[in-house]
Amino acid sequence: MQTTAPVTISEAEWEIMRVVWANVSVTSREVIDILEDKMGWKESTIKTLIGRLVDKEVLETKKEGRKFIYTANINEADTVKSYSEDILSRVCNKHNGLVISHFIKEAQLSTSDIEELIKILEEKSLSAPEVVPCDCVPGQCECHLVN
Protein backbone atom coordinates (compact mmCIF):
# COMPACT_ATOMS: atom_id res chain seq x y z
CA MET A 1 0.00 0.00 0.00
CA GLN A 2 1.35 3.30 -1.09
CA THR A 3 1.19 6.21 1.27
CA THR A 4 1.71 9.70 -0.17
CA ALA A 5 2.41 10.18 3.47
CA PRO A 6 2.88 13.36 5.47
CA VAL A 7 5.82 11.49 6.90
CA THR A 8 8.97 13.51 7.08
CA ILE A 9 12.20 12.03 5.91
CA SER A 10 15.23 13.76 7.27
CA GLU A 11 18.27 14.55 5.23
CA ALA A 12 20.28 11.62 6.54
CA GLU A 13 17.35 9.29 6.13
CA TRP A 14 16.98 10.44 2.57
CA GLU A 15 20.43 9.05 1.80
CA ILE A 16 19.23 5.67 2.89
CA MET A 17 16.10 5.99 0.82
CA ARG A 18 18.11 6.73 -2.28
CA VAL A 19 19.85 3.43 -1.88
CA VAL A 20 16.59 1.61 -1.38
CA TRP A 21 14.92 3.33 -4.30
CA ALA A 22 17.85 2.62 -6.55
CA ASN A 23 18.08 -1.02 -5.64
CA VAL A 24 14.43 -1.72 -5.02
CA SER A 25 15.13 -4.19 -2.29
CA VAL A 26 18.16 -4.28 -0.09
CA THR A 27 19.60 -5.75 3.06
CA SER A 28 21.06 -3.57 5.74
CA ARG A 29 24.44 -4.96 4.82
CA GLU A 30 24.13 -3.61 1.31
CA VAL A 31 23.11 -0.20 2.54
CA ILE A 32 26.00 -0.18 4.93
CA ASP A 33 28.48 -1.19 2.24
CA ILE A 34 27.21 1.50 -0.07
CA LEU A 35 27.09 4.35 2.41
CA GLU A 36 29.61 3.68 5.13
CA ASP A 37 32.61 5.17 3.38
CA LYS A 38 30.86 7.62 1.11
CA MET A 39 29.04 9.25 3.98
CA GLY A 40 31.62 8.60 6.63
CA TRP A 41 28.97 6.99 8.78
CA LYS A 42 29.50 4.21 11.23
CA GLU A 43 27.64 0.99 10.73
CA SER A 44 25.64 1.78 13.84
CA THR A 45 24.50 5.06 12.45
CA ILE A 46 23.16 3.44 9.35
CA LYS A 47 21.35 0.82 11.39
CA THR A 48 19.73 3.54 13.45
CA LEU A 49 18.57 5.36 10.37
CA ILE A 50 17.15 2.21 8.87
CA GLY A 51 15.39 1.46 12.12
CA ARG A 52 13.81 4.88 12.18
CA LEU A 53 12.59 4.53 8.64
CA VAL A 54 11.03 1.22 9.57
CA ASP A 55 9.36 2.86 12.57
CA LYS A 56 8.00 5.55 10.33
CA GLU A 57 6.74 2.81 8.05
CA VAL A 58 8.62 4.26 5.18
CA LEU A 59 10.49 1.00 4.82
CA GLU A 60 8.78 -2.35 4.63
CA THR A 61 10.53 -5.42 5.86
CA LYS A 62 10.40 -9.01 4.86
CA LYS A 63 12.21 -11.47 7.08
CA GLU A 64 14.62 -13.64 5.17
CA GLY A 65 16.40 -16.03 7.44
CA ARG A 66 17.95 -13.96 10.15
CA LYS A 67 18.00 -10.78 8.18
CA PHE A 68 15.50 -8.41 6.70
CA ILE A 69 14.94 -7.37 3.16
CA TYR A 70 13.95 -3.74 3.03
CA THR A 71 11.76 -2.16 0.41
CA ALA A 72 10.38 1.35 0.12
CA ASN A 73 6.82 2.05 0.97
CA ILE A 74 6.81 5.43 -0.72
CA ASN A 75 8.29 6.18 -4.05
CA GLU A 76 10.85 8.74 -4.94
CA ALA A 77 8.63 10.71 -7.27
CA ASP A 78 5.91 11.18 -4.67
CA THR A 79 8.41 12.17 -2.08
CA VAL A 80 10.02 14.70 -4.34
CA LYS A 81 6.59 15.99 -5.20
CA SER A 82 5.68 16.58 -1.61
CA TYR A 83 8.91 18.51 -1.27
CA SER A 84 7.87 20.62 -4.21
CA GLU A 85 4.59 21.38 -2.58
CA ASP A 86 6.34 22.29 0.59
CA ILE A 87 8.63 24.75 -1.06
CA LEU A 88 5.87 26.30 -3.11
CA SER A 89 3.82 26.75 0.01
CA ARG A 90 6.57 28.90 1.40
CA VAL A 91 6.27 31.68 -1.11
CA CYS A 92 3.46 33.75 -2.49
CA ASN A 93 1.81 32.18 -5.52
CA LYS A 94 2.92 35.15 -7.47
CA HIS A 95 6.50 34.06 -6.95
CA ASN A 96 6.05 30.50 -8.10
CA GLY A 97 7.47 31.43 -11.45
CA LEU A 98 10.54 32.84 -9.79
CA VAL A 99 11.07 29.72 -7.74
CA ILE A 100 10.91 27.56 -10.79
CA SER A 101 13.26 29.80 -12.69
CA HIS A 102 15.78 29.33 -9.90
CA PHE A 103 15.39 25.62 -10.28
CA ILE A 104 15.87 25.71 -13.98
CA LYS A 105 18.99 27.77 -13.58
CA GLU A 106 20.47 25.51 -10.93
CA ALA A 107 19.57 22.22 -12.55
CA GLN A 108 21.57 20.21 -15.00
CA LEU A 109 19.20 19.53 -17.86
CA SER A 110 19.67 17.69 -21.10
CA THR A 111 18.26 18.94 -24.36
CA SER A 112 15.50 16.40 -24.17
CA ASP A 113 14.69 17.35 -20.58
CA ILE A 114 14.33 20.90 -21.77
CA GLU A 115 12.17 19.94 -24.70
CA GLU A 116 9.93 18.00 -22.39
CA LEU A 117 9.63 20.87 -19.95
CA ILE A 118 8.79 23.31 -22.68
CA LYS A 119 6.09 20.97 -23.86
CA ILE A 120 4.61 20.80 -20.38
CA LEU A 121 4.71 24.54 -20.07
CA GLU A 122 3.06 25.06 -23.40
CA GLU A 123 0.31 22.73 -22.42
CA LYS A 124 -0.13 24.43 -19.09
CA SER A 125 -0.21 27.73 -20.85
CA LEU A 126 -3.50 26.81 -22.50
CA SER A 127 -5.34 26.97 -19.23
CA ALA A 128 -3.14 29.46 -17.44
CA PRO A 129 -4.63 32.62 -15.96
CA GLU A 130 -3.57 36.06 -17.01
CA VAL A 131 -2.51 36.69 -13.46
CA VAL A 132 -2.07 34.39 -10.48
CA PRO A 133 -4.04 35.33 -7.39
CA CYS A 134 -2.17 35.78 -4.15
CA ASP A 135 -3.65 33.85 -1.30
CA CYS A 136 -1.19 34.69 1.40
CA VAL A 137 -2.11 35.66 4.88
CA PRO A 138 -2.35 39.45 4.76
CA GLY A 139 0.93 40.81 5.95
CA GLN A 140 2.90 37.83 4.77
CA CYS A 141 3.50 39.07 1.26
CA GLU A 142 3.72 42.38 -0.51
CA CYS A 143 0.53 41.87 -2.47
CA HIS A 144 -1.50 42.89 0.52
CA LEU A 145 0.43 45.98 1.27
CA VAL A 146 -1.13 47.63 -1.73
CA ASN A 147 -4.77 46.93 -0.91
The amino acid at 43: E
Q: DSSP letter at 74?
A: S
H-run or E-run covering 103: helix 96-106
Binding mask 88-127 for its own copies (x = CB under 8 A): x-xx-x-xxxxxxxxxxxxxxxxx-xxxxxx-xxx-xx--
CA distance readout (Å), 122 to 41, 54, 85, 102, 110: 45, 41, 21, 19, 18
Tell me: does residue 44 bind its own copies (CB under 8 A): no
23, 47, 60, 141: which one contacts DNA (CB under 7 A)? 47
Min. distance of Cβ 50 from DNA in angstroms? 7
Choose the stretch contacting its own copies; rule: CB under 8 A; options: 19-27, 48-56, 57-65, 66-74.
19-27
Q: Which residues of 15-26 are buried (b: 16+ CB within 10 A; e: fewer)?
A: bbbebbbeeeeb
Of 59-118, which residues contact DNA (CB under 7 A)?
Answer: 65-68
* Residue 32 C-beta: closest distance to DNA, Å: 7
Interactions with DNA, residue window 2-21 (CB under 7 A): 8-13
